Every structure is written in C-alpha cells, then in structure tokens.
Amino acid sequence: MHIDLPEKRYYGIGEVAKAFGVNTSLIRFWEKEFDVLQPKKNAKGNRKFTPQDIHNLQLIFHLVKERGFTLEGAKIHLKEEKQKALSNFEVIQKLQKVKAELLKIKDQL
C-alpha cells in the first residue's frame, strides 16, 4: 500500500487516518493494541505520529487489512520481525568489530 503523505517530522491523527483511508478511532485502537505505535502527544494531548510510526502503521495495515491477519497474529509477526532486525543488527555490530581488528592488523604489517 502506498501512503500519500508529505515528508514531515510529525503527522496529526486526522491526516494519518485520511492517508490510510480509515477512521481515527481505528488508529487509536491500533495504538492501544500494538506496542510499536507510540506517537508523542503535545500539551493538548493531540497525537503526533513520526515517520517511524507511519512505517509501523503501514506494516500493521498490510498484515491486518491486506493479508487478513488477526490482531494476535499480527502482533506475533511484528515481534518475530523485530527479533530478526535485532539479530541482524547484532551481527552487523560484530562484523564491524572484526573489520576494525583486521584493519589494525593490516596497519601493523
């Protein structure tokens, strides 16, 4: 699904709901259901969604609306994806340490 939103630091719930073609109540419901959605709130209590929130909403929308996942199924899928991403991050960090060590050895030759 392509979301048509201008590039900004924060988005209001109204423009997010409109971009996804859903009611604001669904966005608020998903916010309660999914830990990955944590929009900031201003002094008035209005939600301000970041581009990362939009990315997570796209994934939730895709899983629930397009692929037909249950909410529980979508939560499990998101958790597994997060684990994969964390694992990849840890591998990259280890490889960067190995590279740094190899470069030190090369410089000593």
Q: How high is the pLDDT of residue 39?
A: 94
Domain interval for residue 95: 11-108
Planar angle of CA 27, 28, 33, nearest 5 degrees: 95
Q: What would the pLDDT profile of 44-103 be if each residue is shown by its tens digit?
A: 999 999 998 998 898 899 899 988 999 999 999 888 877 776 676 677 778 888 998 999
Planar angle of CA 62, 19, 23, nearest 5 degrees: 85
- Number of neighbours of residue 10 by Cβ within 10 angstroms: 14
**Domain presence at residue 104:** yes
Task: Report the CATH number at residue 94.
Answer: 1.10.1660.10
Structure tokens at 70: 């249950």
**Domain presence at residue 2:** no
Distance CA 107, CA 66 (A): 53
Contact 13, 24 (CB under 8 A): yes
Domain count, the chain: 1
**Domain presence at residue 3:** no
Q: Where is pLDDT greater, at 17 or 88? A: 17
